[in-house]
Structures are given as C-alpha cells and as structure tokens.
Amino acid sequence: MDLVCVGDVMLDVHVVSGALARGGDVHGRVAIRPGGTSANAAVWAAWAGASAAVIAAVGDDLAGALCVGAVADHGVDVGGVVRRSSPTGVMVVMTEDGERSMVADRGANAQLGTADVEGIEARAVLVSGYLLLQEPGHDVAVAAIGGVRTPLLAVEAASWPLLETFGVERFFEGTAACDVVLANEREARVLTGADGDDAARVLGARYRFAAVKRAANGATLIADGRLVAADREVIEEVEPTGAGDAFDGVLLSSLARGRAPEEALALACHAGALVAASHSTWPEETGA
C-alpha cells in the first residue's frame, strides 16, 4: 500500500448564501457530499495513481454507508473503516461574502479506538491532526504514530485554533517520530512564529519533510534540508475547502512512490488548484 490515511470519514454540507445572518427562509446553494480530511487525501492519492486506504469510523447509518461507498468507488481501500453507534460525522461549511465558517460534529470519528489502528504498514502513513489535537482521539493518534511501520510517517497540522489550544511544544513532542509535517500558512505561523519559506525552514529543522501550503503563493517544501518551491497555478477560485487535503494526499503518495520532491510538489499543487477552482472536493477528472 502506498498511502494509508488515519482519521476521519464524514459528510460535508456546504452552504453558500448571501443572507445567512438574516434568518427566515434563505435561498442559496447547498451541496452535500462525502468528505473528511483522511477520505479526501486518500481519494486524491488514488487519483494520482497510488494505492490508498483509509482508517476511520462512521455510524451504522445511511450517511455512513453513502460515504464509505463513495470513497470505495474512487479506488480507495475502505477495509479499515469501522462502524460505531454514534451517527456519522458532519462538517458544515458556510460561505458568505467570501468568508468561510465551519461547524464540525465529529460523530463516529470520535469513537475510533486504539485497536483500530494496530498493524498499519504502508509506504506512507498520514495521521489526521484533528485526531491528534482533540479528545477523544488523541490516544488513538499517539497509538498510530507509535505503532505504524512506514518509512514516511506524516501528520497534518489541521487547525490553527486547535494548535493554539493543544500547545506548540506538546505538538512537537507528540510528533517527534514523524518524518513529515504538513501545514497551511496560519498553522505554520502558530508552530514557528514565522511565515512562508522561513516557517518551512524552522519546521524542516525538526522533520525530514516540511510543507507549507501558501494558497495564492503556491507552496514551499523542505526536503532533507533542501528548499523546494512551487508557484501557484493561475485559477479562478471557486471553493478552496479540501484543497489542502488534496495537496497532502498527492504529495505524500508521490514521495512514497519515489517521485522527486520537485515533481511531487508540483503535482500536489495542481491537485489543490483543481479543488479550489471547482465546487467539488474530489476529482472530476480520471487521473493525474
């Protein structure tokens, strides 16, 4: 297996309206689709030609069945997705005047257990920051980080408010065994106090690979102490939600399959751009 993504499969509800704050009957665009950071990353890894699997928990409900079926339909191994008594998790994304707000109900994802992450072996493993930075779930992430067999163990920083609450030093201590850290600009700033290339260099002193996703400014990757940069593709941004997950899945699976850091980073940025330029979180084309 090229990439195993540990953390979450859930239902995404995207609400787009110019009148969310006024109450009453509001007309807008509502999109309901399967998602979750781990599912998104695994689907995009499969798009890039990698073998991918996801380990997560869903409810024994219609939403869970639909999400798992959709992930499997995109070529991802879902044998590690377990059913739990809680409902399938839901992420509500509300966009108004270009500003996004998110409300997450982790649902069954919070019931993933340490036994569910035993015996993981792959060329690369990605542990969700949402699992590491929250309770319940933290112990499961610790078990995954400590027990996997992989030459490329990665963690994504997930959320700057969660990082601030969790604690920067605690994050570094808990991920000391990781080879890769993945963060957007705001998360990288929380972790390092620096921006852009400087933030990547600080993280690169701790991890073999450190990627800082810079949205309109592309991305920076420290690979074995060497800085690699990729420019942003010129696109008309539609909806950026999930672009970072696509980046993560493609970057990790590409590195795991032996692609050079420059090639892996360029392909990861392309995947992120495809998401940001559409209303879909998952690939609309057949492959890289």
Q: What is the pLDDT of residue 244?
A: 93
Q: What is the pLDDT of residue 20?
A: 54
In a domain, 172, yes or no: yes
In a domain, 26, yes or no: no
In a domain, 39, yes or no: yes
Residue/partner pairs of 213-221 with CB below 8 Å, 24 or more apart: 213/182, 213/183, 213/184, 213/185, 213/243, 213/244, 213/247, 213/272, 214/184, 214/185, 215/184, 215/185, 215/240, 218/269, 219/247, 219/265, 219/268, 219/269, 219/272, 220/196, 221/251, 221/261, 221/264, 221/265
pTM over 0.85, yes/no: yes
- Phi, psi (5° rounding) for residue 195? -125, 160
Question: How many structural domains does the chain have?
Answer: 1
pLDDT tens digits, the chain, 288 residues: what are they? 999 999 999 998 877 655 555 555 666 677 788 999 999 999 999 999 999 999 999 999 999 999 999 999 999 999 999 999 999 999 887 766 666 677 888 899 999 999 999 999 999 999 999 999 998 899 999 999 999 999 999 999 989 999 999 999 999 999 999 999 999 999 999 999 999 899 999 999 999 999 999 877 789 999 999 999 998 777 777 777 788 999 999 999 999 999 999 999 999 999 998 988 887 888 876 566
88 with 58: CB under 8 angstroms?
A: yes
In a domain, 22, yes or no: no
In a domain, 75, yes or no: yes
Of 249, 256, 154, the closest CA to residue 270 belongs to 249
**Which helix (H) or strand (E) element contains residue 110?**
none
**Residue 241: CB atoms within 10 Å:** 19
Which residues span the domain enclosing 230? 3-9+35-88+105-276
In a domain, 124, yes or no: yes
130 with 155: CB under 8 angstroms?
A: no
In a domain, 120, yes or no: yes
Q: What is the pLDDT of residue 288?
A: 67
In a domain, 232, yes or no: yes
Tell me the three state secondary structure of residue 263. Answer: helix
Find the CATH number of the domain harbouring 261. Answer: 3.40.1190.20
